[in-house]
Amino acid sequence: GGGRCVKEPGPAPADVARYAYSYAGEDAVRHVHRLAAGLDSMVLGEDQIVAQIKEALGAAQAAGAIGGAMHRLLHGALAAGKAVRTQTGIASGRLSVVSVAIDLARRTLGGLAGRRALVVGAGRMAELALKHLADEPGVVVTVANRTAARAQELAGRYGAAAVPLDWLEEALRASDVAITATAAPGVVIDAEMAARAARGRGGLLLLDLAVPRNIERAAGEAPGVTLFDVDDMRPVCEENRAARAAEIQQAEAIVDEAVARYMEWWSAQRAVPMIRALRERAEAIRRAELERTLARCPELSEREREAIQALSAAIVNKLLHGPITTIKATGANRELLQAARELFDLPADVA
């Protein structure tokens, strides 16, 4: 839960709470499935969320903070997401926030050949930006990160230079475009830094891909500075979403089916204690009555005793089949479980 998460190293609880939201029951199940399918992402069908869900699952398992129901939910959601991407065209020609940003830089600067680009951060988003920039001919790229070793590792992988975050302003001054994608809870580039970096030259393009933002909004008002953040890229992503209406409908159908399967399983799990108690009570009654009957008929052979025992078990199973099937199908219905508990005189702790 959220309480367990905020005990781990990372953002303060207040920072987490500002970006948190809450779902319950089937709404929560559907939300997780839509996330994994890329249907809730700003960029339709993007698969960065898959890596994030897998990472969250691994962290929860390592911390011993995940139970069977959540484990099944996340694995089912990942499977549904994979089905959406392989069975629909939702991911064909897929955009990402990074690809939208790079295209924006290309159009704003009139091409990237011969330009100097700075990537601030060393996480998944920053690495994706480096990968895109490496495919652009003639771009000189620098990576700035708080952890120098990680910056050097990424820089080496994509043919870039690396600088510590302490040198950010100098690196900014030497760049035509800067892409920020750090996990910092506050701004990394404020308006004053941006203004100083842009002073006395052609201009500086800033692309902020972080949430919360890495670049102070007022930086875009500084002379010579052009700033785009995630909100500015949203219209391009909405155009992409509108063009894929048919794929979205097909993807939603796959998600609906996966959600229904999980809810059916969940209902059955909720009903397990009730079904177990019902079977135990029926079996206790069957055994008591069977022993009483057999005690009155000592002349019966062993074969006859076994036949009577099998008959009694078959009758009980037949009688229980209907109620158990109904309880399994509607196990999440507390009123039905309560009624069944009272009807069959079961212990109070099973409903």
Do residues 254 and 223 touch, judged by C-beta distance below 8 A? no
Relative to beta strand 225-229, strand 204-208 is: parallel
Of 339 and 116, more confident:
116
Q: What tens digit of pLDDT does each residue of 139-164 get? A: 999 999 999 899 999 999 999 999 99
Cα torsion angle, 149, 8, 207, 216, sign: negative
Residue type, 29: V
Cis previous bond, 212, omega within 30: yes
Go through the domains of the chain in sequence order and give each one's CATH number: 2-90 (3.30.460.30), 97-240 (3.40.50.720), 271-350 (no CATH)
Q: How far apart are CA 310 and CA 33, in angstroms?
A: 46
Cα torsion angle, 209, 210, 213, 215, sign: negative
- What are the tokens at 338? 């309560």
Provide the 8-state DSSP code for 218. G
- What are the tokens at 193? 């830094």
What proportions of the chain, in percent to the nearest 5, are helix, strand and coil? 65, 10, 30
Residue whose structure tokens are 């940003």: 101
Number of H helices, E strands in the chain: 14, 6
> pLDDT at position 328, please?
80
Do residues 185 and 172 touch, judged by C-beta distance below 8 A? no
Of 92 and 167, more confident:
167
In the predicted model, what is the mean pLDDT of residues 334-344?
Answer: 85
- What are the tokens at 150? 């990680």
Q: Which residues contact 71 (CB under 8 A, 6 or more apart)?
A: 57, 61
**pTM to 2 decimal places:** 0.57
Which residue spans within the chain are E strands per DSSP? 116-120, 140-145, 161-164, 177-180, 204-208, 225-229
Ranges 154-158, 212-216, 264-268: which has the least confidence:
264-268
Q: What's the whole-number average pLDDT of the chain?
A: 88
Q: How far apart are CA 15 and CA 18, in angstroms?
A: 5
Do residues 143 and 126 touch, judged by C-beta distance below 8 A? yes
Of 113 and 1, more confident:
113
- Closest to 101 measured CA to CA, from 200, 227, 192: 227
Residue type, 35: L
Residue 211, classed as helix, strand or coil, is: coil
**Is the per-residue pLDDT at 42 higher than 90?**
no
- What are the tokens at 308? 């009577």
**Confidence class of residue 1 from pLDDT cuts 50, 70 and 90?**
very low
Residue 348, classed as helix, strand or coil, is: helix
Q: How far apart are CA 56 and CA 78, in angstroms?
A: 12
Do residues 39 and 252 touch, judged by C-beta distance below 8 A? yes
